[in-house]
Amino acid sequence: MLGTSGEDDRRLVLGVARSANDNAWRERLSASEARAAMAISQMHGLPDVLARVMAARGVVPDQAPEFLEPSLKTLMPDPSLLVDMDAAVTRVADAVQAHKKIAIFGDYDVDGATSSAIFAKYLQWLGLDPVIHIPDRIIEGYGPNGPAIENLRQGGAELLVTLDCGSTSFEAFETARKLDLDVVVIDHHQVGETLPGVHALVNPNRQDDLSGQGHLAAVGVTFLFLVGLNRELRRRGAFEGGRQPDLMALLDLVALGTVCDVVPLKGLNRAYVTRGLAVMHQRRNYGLTALSDTARVSGKPAPYHLGFLIGPRINAGGRIGDAALGARLLTTEDPHEARAIAERLDQLNTERQAMEAVMLEQADAEAALAVEAREPAVLLTGSDDWHPGIVGLIASRLKETYRRPAFAISYDETGKGTGSGRSISGVDLGKAVRQAVEDGLLEKGGGHAMAAGLTVRREKAAELESFFNEVLKEEVEAATAHRELKVDAALTATGATLDLMELLEKAGPYGAGHSEPVFAFPAHRISFADVVGKGHVRATLAAGDGSTLKGICFKAEDKPYGRMLLEGRGKALHVAGTLSIDTWQGTPKVQLRILDVADPQKVRL
């Protein structure tokens, strides 16, 4: 074990009981996982560091070969295992063979855009001309609505397929029924026992669905649906004498939606992303290629690029611009149009960042006062001046800063508030929001454990805050009782090599539910530290043998670990973070993303 001293801190790494960010650094591996790591290494001849990373992420010795080579063929279930899948497949196959007009209704986030895009591209391959409707976040709100359905019907739609939405759209689908328009829902959001009356509702999070695929993003469920649809059309002889659609070519979009919806990168999701990143590297999708170039993505695409560079730009259209831009970008076969849309999304993302900065300053001031006055378990902030498309980002920032669930709400002139919440691990926010709807505190709301949306009247806000703090207090206290940073291993700058990165890549890709390995660098001298960009701190770590490693911590200039680095020039500090490859100017180099810092002389409580 690293840095053990005494029973109370027997698993402390480098003896760090309190870091600059007030974390205890602890070994990620439990005792049983350490034994599994040894067995993985011995049974399969794998390096110790790779075995440790795998074991810490739940891999058992017998599963190691399959884990290192995630296969869609092995991990993908029979689509028919999902409730209503066969009914959905049959209805859409009938429409395809009859060349009916199919309307796609998608959500306005990346998951919705990618779901809509892969379905539309599949139908286009078959010679159909589907219409995609992405609702305006402000005017229409989330999910299907009556006026949009009426317009689609008037435009000739003979079948409506909703993607990443629709599981609770009772009123909207009543409109569809009156218009004699069949509806197929493909979704993944949590739902109650009562479901709307539609031809088929495919959702692995239905309470009667036992497929075990509830971890999939909507785009992952949509891809499963396409596999089932392709199988049915092939059975009917629809591809005789012609080339059938290339489903594997769609996996770049499946990977994008999966990463951006922050679902666990385990099982089938991990296979989706692994294969999808390889397809993305081939630059076959004009829109994705144009946006990658606009976002200055360099080197092999990784989940980081999807989640932090490409995804936010697609989301910018849905937040403050034209919500349909993302789906149009990802379906276009015109490289010139792709470039124009990518540039527009990049512009919107810049505008979104400026608006977010102003909103965050106001929200942070409100949250700081609340924490100082009453130390709430859940933060509830709001303003008449906030853009409703950005409140989710504000909630996420507050959650990170104050380490507790947070809501940000935008109120209109009538006092109606549109809000978004983000949670911390161990606190089920979606469940609390659904309970608030049942109790009459919210006009509507829903979501999942880590994120939720709601609509509330201003006069109910104080009561809602009290409700959240009452029902979630124990969960929040339990989740925040021990602040710690889990560390996979100790390294020196000398050991942070490209060979190590190639090794770690075998256990990737990393993301939600499959976290990047964190390494501790003991007593490295800070030979350089300075502020760069918008509050980022870059630093150079020097090992005792003279080797160096460049690192950066984002938006940390005013945070404890950023200040410790800036004030620690020339001093030896413990530094912890994740490794990545920086390909700036074409030369690959290992870089450290700094997550925490500790003074070796002040690590004890």
DSSP states of 305-339 as a string?
Answer: HIIIIIHHHHHHHHHHS-TTHHHHHHH---HHHHH
| Crossing angle for the helix pair 311-320 and 335-374, to the nearest 10 degrees | 80
Q: What residue has token string 């989940």?
A: 303
pLDDT tens digits, 83-93: 999 999 999 99
pLDDT tens digits, 221-234: 999 999 999 999 99
pLDDT tens digits, 450-489: 889 999 999 999 999 999 999 999 999 998 887 899 999 9
Instruction: From 286, 294, 410, select the one nearest 350 (Cα to Cα).
Output: 294
Q: How confident is the model at residue 51 (pLDDT cuts 50, 70, 90)?
A: very high
pLDDT value of residue 248 = 97
536 exposure class (CB count in 10 Å sphere: 0-12, 13-18, 19+)? middle
pLDDT tens digits, 55-75: 999 999 999 999 999 999 999
Token duo for residue 407: 């809501």
Percent of the chain with pLDDT over 70: 97
Average pLDDT over residues 413-428: 94
pLDDT of 44 > 60? The answer is yes
pLDDT value of residue 5 = 39
pLDDT value of residue 513 = 86
pLDDT value of residue 94 = 98
pLDDT tens digits, 341-369: 999 999 999 999 999 999 999 999 999 99
Q: In what order do the strands lie in the sheet with 451-457?
A: 379-383, 406-411, 416-422, 451-457, 444-447
pLDDT tens digits, 539-548: 999 999 999 9
Mean of pLDDT over the chain: 93
pLDDT tens digits, 422-443: 999 889 998 999 999 999 999 9
